[in-house]
Amino acid sequence: MEAYLDNAATTPVFPEVKEIMVRVMEEDYGNPSSKHTKGMAAEQYIRKTKEIISGCLKCQPKEIIFTSGGTESNNMAFIGAAIANRRAGKHIITTRIEHASVYEPMAYLEEMGYEVTYLPVDPAGRVSVEDIENALRDDTFLVSVMYVNNEIGSVQRIGEIGEALHRRNPDILFHVDAIQAFGKYKIVPGRLGIDMMSVSAHKIHGPKGTGFLYIRDGVKIRPILFGGGQQGGMRSGTENVPGIAGLGAAVQQIYQNHADKREHLFRMKKMLIEGLQQYEGVVIHGVDGLPLEETAPHIVSAGFSSVKSEVMLHALAQEGVFVSSGSACSSNHPELSGTLQAVGVKGEMLDSTLRFSFSVLTTAEQVMYAVETVGKLLPVLRKFTKR
């Protein structure tokens, strides 16, 4: 049997996504900037996807800029906003549990003379709204907080943060990395005080290499890619029409019967946690006594005492159970997880933790197979470690 439980890394595409992408590549393959009928047919896919996304977000289609995914969206938000808002200040606030695609552009901006404040989180991985307010300065122009943490599934109080920021200073830009949240939550940026928001298609059964950045109308941001002036000059380069069409299909599918999909994910999560907790020396991170409903429905971070995470990961893979030892996007940075350290994980558990993550396609049989496989492997691997 095979149990793919690494959906926070990437998801298989929905059949509807594959179907529309093949149609675009084989039939409607024109350049959307071309003035002939092939070009106009391609452009219609872009327009339709904008309508789908803006309908979900209750925003304007012009507020959606298509990108190559979450990393580009985050980079565009930070660097583009920094360039456009130099006079507003050079201070940025974020948290200690952000994704590498936040940390790396932040480090770049620090080299350029900007100052970044990295706020701590509690044992459940949540930043304090009060800490954010206390960190604000007269020269703060940007605050970035991820909606759902990609390693432990902590959920931030985005609405409270947005309200607090704009009550204090309506000119401060609030960016949200919603890459693990979009599709799991119904997000209306206008109601949450979000000025910019990053989303990636391949986390919601869309294609890799596609995503978007929501930019509230009126937000000052400069492009970081220059060329033919596509997308109103905000992101030059011929649009990835098959990918954009696939993104639109994925968004449509993921938000159909959305409440049922969320309930399914929480069932899988509860089943896995209860199954793993029957084994000695297993710790679930990022929960800290919270009700399950206050954590992300699709992510479980579990530590296994006396077993290295890489050893457990490969042993599980040999049995057809596929998980992650952290963020898949950070595999080129093998140092211990900053997120786990930020929530107080210490000692051997820092290098003995795996991430299990589900999708709407995950079955109860797959989860139970994973639980049983862990139970079979743990005593063997622990015995091997003791040698």
pLDDT in tens, 155-165: 999 999 999 99
- Annotation says 329 is catalytic: yes
Give the model confidence (pLDDT) of 202-248 as tens digits.
999 999 999 999 999 999 999 999 999 999 999 999 999 999 999 99
What does each of the 387 residues of the chain score in pLDDT, given as a tens digit?
999 999 999 999 999 999 999 999 999 999 999 999 999 999 999 999 999 999 999 999 999 999 999 999 999 999 999 999 999 999 999 999 999 999 999 999 999 999 999 999 999 999 999 999 999 999 999 999 999 999 999 999 999 999 999 999 999 999 999 999 999 999 999 999 999 999 999 999 999 999 999 999 999 999 999 999 999 999 999 999 999 999 999 999 999 999 999 999 999 999 999 999 999 999 999 887 889 999 999 999 999 999 999 999 999 999 999 999 865 554 444 567 889 999 988 888 898 999 999 999 999 999 999 999 999 999 999 887 654
pLDDT at 326: 66
Domains defined for the chain, CATH in brackets = 3-11+258-386 (3.90.1150.10), 15-254 (3.40.640.10)
Distance CA 185, CA 194 (A): 15
DSSP-assigned states of every residue in 30-81: --TT-SSHHHHHHHHHHHHHHHHHHHHHTS-GGGEEEESSHHHHHHHHHHHH
The active-site residue out of 282, 313, 329, 340 is 329
Report the pLDDT value the prediction gives residue 385, as an integer from 0 to 100.
Answer: 66
pLDDT value of residue 286? 87
Predicted local confidence at residue 138, as pLDDT:
95
Q: Tell me the one-letter amino acid at 197.
A: M
Are the C-beta atoms of residues 157 and 26 closer than 8 Å to each other?
Answer: no
